Chain A
Amino acid sequence: MYGLKPVPFKPIHYPSDSFVAFGVYAVLASSANPDSVDFARRSAFFCNIHLDVRWRLFLKLRLSLLRGATGFAPILAISAIAQQAPPSDFVVKNATVMTASHGTIQHGAVWVHNGKIAGVGESVDAPASAVVVDATGKWLTPGIIDPHSHSALDSDVNEATSPVTPSMMMIDAFDNRDKALYQALAGGVTTELLLHGSANMIGGQAVVIKNKFGLSRDAMIFPNAPRSIKFASGENPKRVYGSRNQLPSTRMGNFEVMRQSFENAKAYMASWDAYNAKVAKKDATAVAPKVDLKLEALADVLRGKLYVQIHCYRADEFLTEEAIAHEYGYKIRAFHHALEMYKVAGQIAPENTAIATFTDWWGYKDEAWDAIPWNAVMSMRKGVRVALKSDSNDHIRRLNSEAGKMVHYGGATEDEAIKMVTLNPAWIIGVDDRVGSIDVGKDADLVIWNVDPLSTYARAEKVYIDGDLFFDSAMLGLGTPHFNGAMHDGGGFGSDDSDGEGN
């Protein structure tokens, strides 16, 4: 064994037949007897459900024989469903706390009160009644935040029927039972920005979710998060429309489509301004212009009501995009992918535009040919706010160790690296005042890891969102206290192009 010893992995042992009988008995007992909490807890202990958060869980063990897609050997899954609210106070103690905002605290503690972080430090002033979670030897981080995901959108990522589709609302495609959400949750991901794809120069409007897998669709929406819109540039739009002999088929065409769209939006805004002026003057001849959802959305971009998130790879295109933004008076919140940012980071940093980039993807297309894994750290050193993102149902499950690569590629400190998958993506989404770091007053979105989350060996052991436990790897079956149904398989890779060809 190499010097760095990961905490030994303890595989879940699925219960034997005799235990299945015992579990069924537990269900019967729990439904029959209001005092069965302890009984259920004992039975839970028996099957290796580790209830070190000693909440007053009313456990109902639900046994279901779930069959794989091929109908082969049934896999036993047990979901323990928490039916009561989480405790009003609990404290995670003795953890290595990576705060993401103010360094790492060895043997730190975090106090959660009513779903918010109420204290963080070497010690906290929690009430004596607070439930204690002993995290000795473990790491605690803010929940991982992915600022670029297409999970849970089935194959509805791209409305690739026009290069300008700003009124598409990704919420309309959001499938809250997609297995990709569960797998991301098991990787410690608590917040995601679900974006339109990159087929269109101006795509649709994103939805921000909290990954409360098992709750209703509405309960998974991040409350009052800013609205974001997805733009794209480069190869994808020109390939999609060029292959149909439509505009755009070149980068010239790409950008001109954008400019014309904003000119249309300006004319639309002017028509409404004229109408409103007439109304203000009580002019009886005032006739309201037609509401146009597409132009209304573009007008909101010009009004600064939408965060602009741009899929963009090449250095020259960052500069063009910034120039167009200046010309029409909006701000670019972040460039996504941004693989060539290292070439022009010094010019982009003063714009206060962040990047959401891959760690080390490259070479899958021409505009990814100059990608280098040092991009993130080099851009950060030039003053650009850098986040790492998945754009993938695969990588979203291990953004923590992707961040660890930044220690290798460019020598980021561990605090800088963890910020790239927590606080910085929170800023890109516009929710950094509520999530992304372990600070008093923020939502208690927390992950307990077996080892340093930046190492290859890290596994998320417990994931809390708003102070509630949504994933516990020690639980039998799926490890999801709030989920007890059937997952959907949205299929695909979860990338920008639903055909998986591009990113």
Chain B
Amino acid sequence: MKASVKVASLIFLASSFLTGSWTVNVLAQTTGAKSGTLAITGGKLLTVSHGTIENGVLVIVDGKISAVGEAGKVAVPAGATIVDAHGLTVYPGLIDPDTTLGLTEVGSDENSNDLAEPSDEIMPHMHVADAFHAETELIPVARLNGVTNAVIAPGTADSVAGQDIFIQLAGKNREAMILGRDVALAMNYGAEQRRRGGRGGGRGEFPSTRMGLITQLRQSLMDAQHYEAEKEAAAKKADKADSKDTDKAGEKGGGKPTERDLKLEALLPYLHGQRPVVVGVYEGYDVESIMKVAQEFHLKVILNHVTHTQEVLDEIAAWKVPVIVGSIYDFPRADERFDAVFTLPAELAKRGVKIAISSADAGGPGGAHGVRNLPYAAGFAVAYGLPYDEALKAVTLNVAEMFGFGDKLGSLDVGKTANVVLANGDPLDVRTDVKQVYIEGIAQPMVSRQTRLRDEYGK
């Protein structure tokens, strides 16, 4: 195809300009590189925010979208590099709302995994940013299928597992790839977290039941509130440091400064509702239990998984909380209809719930290796009743909005970061081939460790 030949040569150009050797190419670059001015013309634009433009023009200037519209109605700046996208579909880079990309390499190799810290159930001070491995071979693999951003969350072993990062799947190093540190608090509630005492192999330690988990969580949140109150009180005293006041201990001024407790401190932004907590929960009755706690502490909740919540969907809608569905491939229970989980995104969307769809386990064991299947999980939701436009939103704009990047990512709109994908067909169809991925307007090398193996043995 004519268009793809042009795209291919552009990839070649981009690769040769950026680096000298292909091993470095795989670490796609944005930092230091300038996209210049680019006009992607003739493609079918799926804007996500304002419909489909059959014959569209997208202009990118210095990494941002500067114009988008129908051919003939959008001026192509003089000197712009023209990318002929006739026959191709152009859409915003996909965003995975829940993955462990960068926290794992080889599933069975413990040394390459930094998923969760299981020594305690309450671990809000674990920062995914500290473990994120920017050079993972998994990132180029995911990027090749049009995934340009992701929320990286810790594993699910803990009630409070740590704080997520929001990344871009390109950049020289970790600093360039992490767009947001501690963007959300990862929480979990259900059978899995009561591991200590839990059935089978438990060590007889607290908490061994759901009652224990909830008590422990509530106590921790209250401890954090108390900690904050103490800190504020100490700060007030410190303000009076020059006064002649003497405290009970006989010390003058503000007394001893409160020792910082990083664990409790980590909970404070979430207790203030400044950032969302993502609550992973599978069962309907577990959703009801954990929401009681969340409401008590005014947490800003995003629900995650909600696999077996068919009986509380109306309640979820009434709470007006966004929901991440994943894995859509989770099994229904025995005697449930085969599509009880497949229809979940459609049923939620029908009730007005804002949904995102994650890649979770879409590619076999080990989650993060299947991020490239994110678009197909969204497409599968379409097969089971979710309107197409909602499905596309669920892996782009909705995710960006849930995590505070709605003004920067998730749609083809002027002013947004130029994370743009060109494919030879419907992005959600398994048969479609992604031809080119742009991140911040830079054409990413369409190579991964896997394409290198393919090319080496395909000779």
Contacts and interface: CB of A to CB of B under 8 A. Distances in A.
B365 A456 contact: no
Nearest to A73: B311
A456 B385 contact: no
B383 A457 contact: yes
B404 interface: no
Contact of A394 (B138, B331, B369, B431): B331
Contacts of A77: 335, 337
Interface in B357-414: 361, 363-366, 369-370, 372-373, 376, 379-380, 382-385, 387-389
B46 interface: yes
A69 B333 CA distance: 7
A2 B426 contact: yes
A366 B383 contact: no
B453 to A, nearest CB: 5
A489 B334 CA distance: 6
B450 A362 contact: yes
A456 B382 contact: yes
B283 interface: yes
A402 B384 CA distance: 17
B252 to A, nearest CB: 60
B364 to A, nearest CB: 4
A75 B308 CA distance: 13
B334 A378 contact: no
B283 A70 contact: yes
Contact of B338 (A73, A183, A401, A486): A183
Contacts of A363: 105-107, 137-138, 366, 369
Interface string B415-459: 000000000011111111100000000000000001101100110
B431 to A, nearest CB: 4
A119 B56 CA distance: 48
Contacts, number: 183
Interface residues of A, number: 70
B385 to A, nearest CB: 4
B284 interface: yes
A378 B458 contact: yes
Contacts of B432: 408
A12 B385 contact: no
A187 B342 CA distance: 12
B55 to A, nearest CB: 13
B297 interface: no
Interface stretch (A126-134, A276-284, A295-303, A367-375): A367-375
Contacts of A456: 376, 379-380, 382-383, 428-430
Contacts of B12: none
Contact of B454 (A183, A342, A360, A478): A342
B266 interface: no
B109 interface: yes
B339 interface: yes
B430 A361 contact: no
Contact of A493 (B337, B365, B385): B365
B336 interface: yes
Among B89, B308, B385, B450: residue with most chain A CB under 10 A = B450
Interface in A93-141: none
A361 B385 contact: no
B426 to A, nearest CB: 5
A69 B382 contact: no
B102 to A, nearest CB: 13
B106 A489 contact: no
Interface in A148-187: 179, 182-183, 186-187
A395 interface: yes
A398 to B, nearest CB: 8
A503 B338 contact: no
B364 A503 contact: yes
B335 A407 contact: no
Contact of A186 (B338, B364, B370): B338
Contact of A365 (B108, B343, B376, B384): B108
Most chain B CB atoms below 10 A, which of A187, A457, A503: A457
Contacts of B385: 9, 11
| Leading 3 A-B pairs by shortest Cβ distance | A456-B379, A361-B364, A186-B338
8 contacts: A4-B429, A11-B385, A70-B284, A362-B450, A394-B331, A397-B329, A479-B338, A489-B334
Interface of A: 1-4, 6, 9, 11-12, 66, 68-70, 72-73, 75, 77, 179, 182-183, 186-187, 235, 342-343, 358, 360-366, 369-374, 378, 392-395, 397-398, 401-402, 404-405, 407-408, 454-459, 477-479, 486-489, 493, 495, 500-503
Given A66-B335, A342-B458, 4 more contacts: A1-B387, A183-B332, A378-B458, A478-B337
